[in-house]
Amino acid sequence: MPPSLRFGGRVMDFRRLVEPAGLLYGVAARQAVQRGNALPLAGGPAAFTCADLIEDDARSGFVPVASIPASWQPELARVARSPVSGMLPETPLVMGILNLTPDSFSDGGHHLETANAVTGGLAMVQAGAGVLDLGGESTRPGALPVTPQQEWDRIGPALIALRAQAKGTVLSVDTRNSLVMEQALAAGADVINDVSALVHDPDALPLLAERECGVVLMHMRGVPETMAQHAVYQDVACEVVRELGKRVCAAVEGGIARERLVIDPGLGFAKTTEQNLEMLSRLPLLANLGCRVLLGVSRKRMIGALTGVSDPARRDPATQAATLEALPLGNSLLRVHAVEGMVQAVKLWRAVHAT
């Protein structure tokens, strides 16, 4: 049975996907929509002029929006509609990564001391971060797990201090463990960011169903220790969307309102460099899920492979270029290590595209 959700009073399953293409921006986008030659993409700054209609494994090829059959109008409406997230400000947000670990691939150990973590987090806020994402467990490929208590011991003091000193900033906690989720929410966290999409800990979904926080569901197969073995796809973009769709359905059926959800395609998790690149080039497919999108590609191995830059700390320019690919989807969350450069890039992109 395919996963399904109710949109606009109608049950929608994810056997049928619309892949938007032919994007326009600014004045051109608005005029094309007014003339019936385009539709907004996720209610954002872009409009799409054609789409590939995908049903199971069958594809129509790219068809002009004005020529799409009436039987596909519900799917089109789903892709065009702006996702609502009452948990976060309705604007693109730069999310600063605050790793409180000794072994994260790029900056492990930099923020292990609470004082350094707080100083680093406040600097990100000053640079324009709208969200801080605190993590106490490395999920790099091959990383070994820590206990939930060890994870909370790393996160807790910094979260409490930042909640007191960065009152207007959204604080997210990157965890897959319900013990950490519960304590983080009690300490003032606004968002729970789970790389396992609420699969890892069976107590996570019922816990979050009782709260009012935002919830990020990320696509991954397996666990960090084994995920590289699962990077086998026939069509990576469609499979990621459908598998994320199952997790969205599970969350909604478990009591988490869809308006609280954010989705993350999980670049670098159970995906090769080539699969990451294809997913990045086909991000508009994510609009089929009707949720806000988080993109986290910062300094990842794929950037090193594509640019030849071996030092993760020197991959920020390419990180910014890759991360901008999420902005056509509207009020995206852009998860990066280097906040200031990303904030500048977003401002320029929005100015160019008149949004």
Q: Are 139 and 224 in contact (CB under 8 A)?
A: yes
Per DSSP, 82 falls in state: P
In this structure, the chain runs to a length of 355
From the candidates 246, 335, 347, 350, which is the catalytic residue? 335
Tell me whether residue 221 is one of the annotated catalytic residues. Answer: no
- Within 13 A of 229's CA, how many CA atoms are on the CB side? 6
Helices assigned H by DSSP within 11-147: 26-34, 73-80, 114-127
Unique residue bearing structure tokens 């989807």: 329
Closest CA to 244 of 229, 228, 261: 261
> Considering Cα of 304, then 306, then 307, then 308, what sign does the dihedral take?
positive
Helix (H), strand (E) at residue 148: helix 148-165
Distance in angstroms (rounded) separating the CA atoms of residues 239 and 247: 13
Supply 45's token pair. 């700054």
Report which residue type is found at 99.
N
Q: Where are the alpha helices (DSSP H) in 172-314?
A: 178-186, 204-209, 236-253, 273-281, 301-307
- Is-catalytic flag, 335? yes
Cα–Cα dist 64/24, whole Å: 13
Which is catalytic among the residues 176, 292, 300, 315? Answer: 300
Just list the catalytic residues.
Answer: 300, 335
